[in-house]
Amino acid sequence: MTDAIATRPPKRLLRDRLPVVHQLRQSVGLQRGMLVAGLILTGLFIFTAIFAPLLAPYGFNQLRDIDGPFGSQQPPSSAHPFGTTVGGYDVLSRTIWGTQTALLVIIAAVVLSIFAGVFLGLVSGYFGGWLDRVLVVICDAIYAFPSLLLAIVMAIVISGGQSSLWGGVLAAAISISVVYIPQYFRVIRAETVRIKAEAYVESAKVLGASNSRIMVRHVLRNATRTLPLIFTLNSSEAILTLAGLGFLGFGIEPTAAAEWGYDLNKALADVSSGIWWTALYPGLAIVLTVLGITLVGESLNDLADPRLRGRRRVAKASGAVAETSVVPGGTLIAGPGGLDGLEDGESFEEHGIEVKS
Amino acid sequence: MTSTTTVSETPGAKPAAPRAAKTPGGGLGRYILIRALLIIPTVFILVTLVFVLMRTTGDPITAALGGRLTADQLQERIAAAGYDRPLIVQYLEYLGQIATGNFGTTISDNRPVVEVLVTYGGATLELAFYSLIVAFLIGIPFGLVAAYFRDKGQDAVLRVFAILCYATPVFFAGMILKLIFSVWLKVLPVAGRASTGAELQMQFLPNPTGLYTIDAIRTGNPAVLADVLAHAVLPSIALGLLTAGVFLRLVRTNVIGTLSTDYVDAARSRGVGEYRLVRTHAYRPALIPIITVIGLQIALLLGGAVLTETTFEWKGLGFMLAEYLQARDFVAVQGIVALLAVIVALTNFVVDILAALIDPRVRY
């Protein structure tokens, strides 16, 4: 992607420049199948979220209609195709409305963590110095910690545990984004450190460009190529974290919004008595949504890595293949070892770059 | 901005001089020492973070007992516990306590957090151990198969399986397993660590370890052991599948790398069988990065354990954490989370040392 400047044709077609469309055209065979399947599932999820008010037969907190109350734990019937919950809600409606909550939380969480993570990573990588070292150590510490526990702590801090729709969505989003800021931070910082050494940054500096101009125009523009991948991988983690929080009782109140994790928490007791419909559908909704987003993310990840792009010859040429760099957990060498360099007075840069031997 | 000065500094640090100087010296002993020292800032940061976050919201007494006491009584309790002093004083005191191994006392049932750990830690350890076994048994062989049949049908199926493992929340997997094997087929117990009869037998042991498998063996009664193991099957599978997906992908990517090396080609041309080729030539070198990643999996496992234990009423640390969360006992939550931070830091340390022992390149 970086040599696009050197070989830039007069005008690249729009369809080649759009992130996902480009990869779709680039992919072949099995990889294309996975990407398409992921895109369909994700599209379905977004579609359901947007049109939830039209698709859902009842409201998410509706307990009765003109025929009277729905009743508790009713098995699937024509009036309630997925049955009703122990609290007397319609399972189908709550599953559909749940997509909306999930989408809102993903958007809020990812936007928050992208902004904070990208900003911190850019500043830290570009200026270096003590700020960089402190931020790296903090992010490494957070990164190594179980994300769900951190999200729980954050949820307590923000909402004290119980919340309304917007309060709940925001609390969940902030809790989740605190967990994922280190990931964006690491990737952007590593890229920034690499790009900073490029000749064109040097020349911009010589020309007298200001720091902020260099950071935005020269570094950030080139450092964002991996963002779509982290974006997808984090959205799926955000859904799982939200569901985990809901399952532990830190979800959004059922009267404020529908949330799958909360519904599964309430369904836990049902399962022991053989009531399957209250657990199955919200659970499946989580699985399919995460599956769809992850399939997209995985395909983008593989397509971005020439060693995994599906041609065996390429893999052969590049020698030992470690884990792909962007997937969480692939940044071990850059992990807590970052401080090691400090002790030796070594330049800090190379620990951030995710080179694996 | 004062940043212009710092900019000129950093590129200057780049020359290879310090790098070259340390190559002869850096032995394993020094590496272990540095890694051991690194535990301190990690734990310190996490403990500080948790303290600051939890205390900025207010004092734990109001959170736990808010509705149940009058304002005066609350004030009295807060003063008695010292929560009305400046935050910095409380923080320093807290750090001092942690340094001496005191993680506080729970509000709801008035027990030292360390005692909670000792009582329930064994259960979590057992669960983590069994689920790691499940993860290895599923992840490694299937990862090898997927790598060998790269981009073929088998690979596609296994990769989707790996993603499904990751995409399924542990509690949902647990509920489905429960539904099928405990409720419909009635072959495995629904919840708990052992049936009441077995638990009674184990209670009469002199100093029980808390690890039910070991205690069950010590009773010398095969029925007790069978009971304990039967209770462990479903939780271990639910939690193990989560990690199995990660292992599968990891083994696959790494073995794909080693399968395309020259020495594998050389071995193949010498007539080494395909099975042996994958099993020995490609798999062994691919193990190194896998061992390092297991360290990071501990964090995932602990997070998953909270959910799994809640699903199966497996009375471990995670289950207790969820209980204290329900009771809004934030002293207990803070204590357990801080303790888990120590455990995570220690495990990462051990794994780093293991990786350095296996692969000298890690010890830069």
Domain boundaries, chain A: 51-273, 320-356
- pLDDT-based confidence at residue A286 (cuts at 50, 70, 90): very high
Strand ranges (E), chain A: 64-65, 68-69
> Is residue B21 in a domain?
no
> Is residue B53 in a domain?
yes
Look-up of token digits 């009743």: A71
Measured between CA atoms, how close is A95 to chain B, in angstroms? 14
Region A142-169 average pLDDT: 73
Looking at residue B8, what is its pLDDT? 37
Region A337-356 average pLDDT: 35
Sign of the dihedral defined by the CA atoms of residues B82, B88, B94, B100, in that order: negative
Contact residues on chain B for A137, CB-CB shorter than 8 A: 41-42, 45
- pLDDT-based confidence at residue A136 (cuts at 50, 70, 90): confident
Looking at residue A170, what is its pLDDT? 79
- Residue B112 DSSP symbol: B
pLDDT exceeds 50 at position A340? no
CATH, residue B280: 1.10.3720.10
- pLDDT-based confidence at residue A287 (cuts at 50, 70, 90): very high
Which among A186, A176, A19 is positioned nearest to A118, based on CA atoms? A186
Is A352 at the interface with chain B, CB within 8 A? no
- Rounded to whole angstroms, the Cα distance separating A237 from A245 reads 12
Given a contact cutoff of 8 angstroms between Cβ atoms, the answer to whether A338 and A332 are in contact is no
Looking at residue A155, what is its pLDDT? 79
B10 closest CB neighbour out of A128, A316, A319: A128
Using the beta-carbon criterion (under 8 Å), do B4 and A211 form an inter-chain contact? yes
Using the beta-carbon criterion (under 8 Å), do B156 and A268 form an inter-chain contact? no
pLDDT exceeds 60 at position A337? no
pLDDT digits (tens, 9 = 90+) for B68-118: 677 777 777 777 777 777 778 888 888 888 777 777 777 777 788 888 888
- pLDDT-based confidence at residue A329 (cuts at 50, 70, 90): very low
Contact residues on chain B for A290, CB-CB shorter than 8 A: 166-168
3-state DSSP assignment of residue B195 = coil
- Residue A84 DSSP symbol: B
Residue of A nearest to B362 (CA): A333
Using the beta-carbon criterion (under 8 Å), do B49 and A197 form an inter-chain contact? no
Residue of B nearest to A142 (CA): B46
Using the beta-carbon criterion (under 8 Å), do A129 and B9 form an inter-chain contact? yes
* CA B280 from centroid of its chain's CA atoms: 29
As for the ipTM of the complex, it is 0.78
Looking at residue A19, what is its pLDDT? 64
Residue B253, CB half-sphere, CA atoms under 13 Å: how many?
23
Looking at residue A307, what is its pLDDT? 55
Total CB pairs under 8 A between chain A and B = 236
The tokens describing A347, both together, are 């330049």
Looking at residue A319, what is its pLDDT? 42
pLDDT digits (tens, 9 = 90+) for A18-29: 666 777 776 667
Bigger pLDDT: A29 or A320? A29
Contact residues on chain B for A329, CB-CB shorter than 8 A: 246, 293, 296
The tokens describing B66, both together, are 């808010």
The tokens describing A42, both together, are 């994700």
- pLDDT-based confidence at residue A289 (cuts at 50, 70, 90): very high
Highest mean pLDDT among A73-82, A264-273, B230-239 belongs to B230-239
Print burial letters for B229-246: b (CB count within 10 Å at least 16), e (below 16): eebbbbbbbbbbbbbbbb
- Residue B148, domain extent: 39-363
3-state DSSP assignment of residue B283 = helix
Best probe of the A interface among B32, B57, B253, B293, by most A CBs < 10 A, is B253
Using the beta-carbon criterion (under 8 Å), do B169 and A261 form an inter-chain contact? yes
Highest mean pLDDT among A300-309, A324-333, A347-356, B96-105 belongs to B96-105
What residues of chain B score a pLDDT lower than 50? 1-25, 364
Q: How many domains does chain B have?
A: 1
The CA distances from residue B196 to A72, B191, B227, B228, B242, in Å, are: 32, 12, 10, 11, 29
Neighbouring CB atoms inside 10 A of A310's CB total 18
Looking at residue A346, what is its pLDDT? 35
B172 closest CB neighbour out of A144, A148, A264: A264
Is A40 at the interface with chain B, CB within 8 A? no
Using the beta-carbon criterion (under 8 Å), do A316 and B260 form an inter-chain contact? yes
The tokens describing B107, both together, are 């509000």
Using a 10 angstrom Cβ sphere, with 0-12 exposed, 13-18 middle and 19 or more buried, the burial of residue A78 is: exposed
Given a contact cutoff of 8 angstroms between Cβ atoms, the answer to whether A237 and A182 are in contact is no
Region A210-237 average pLDDT: 78
> Is residue B10 in a domain?
no
Residue B140: which residues within 8 A CB-CB, separation 6 or more?
B247, B248, B251
- Rounded to whole angstroms, the Cα distance separating A14 from A28 reads 20
> Is residue B152 in a domain?
yes
- Rounded to whole angstroms, the Cα distance separating A275 from A282 reads 14
Domain A51-273: top CATH class: mainly alpha
> Is residue B88 in a domain?
yes
Bigger pLDDT: A153 or B25? A153
Using a 10 angstrom Cβ sphere, with 0-12 exposed, 13-18 middle and 19 or more buried, the burial of residue B214 is: middle
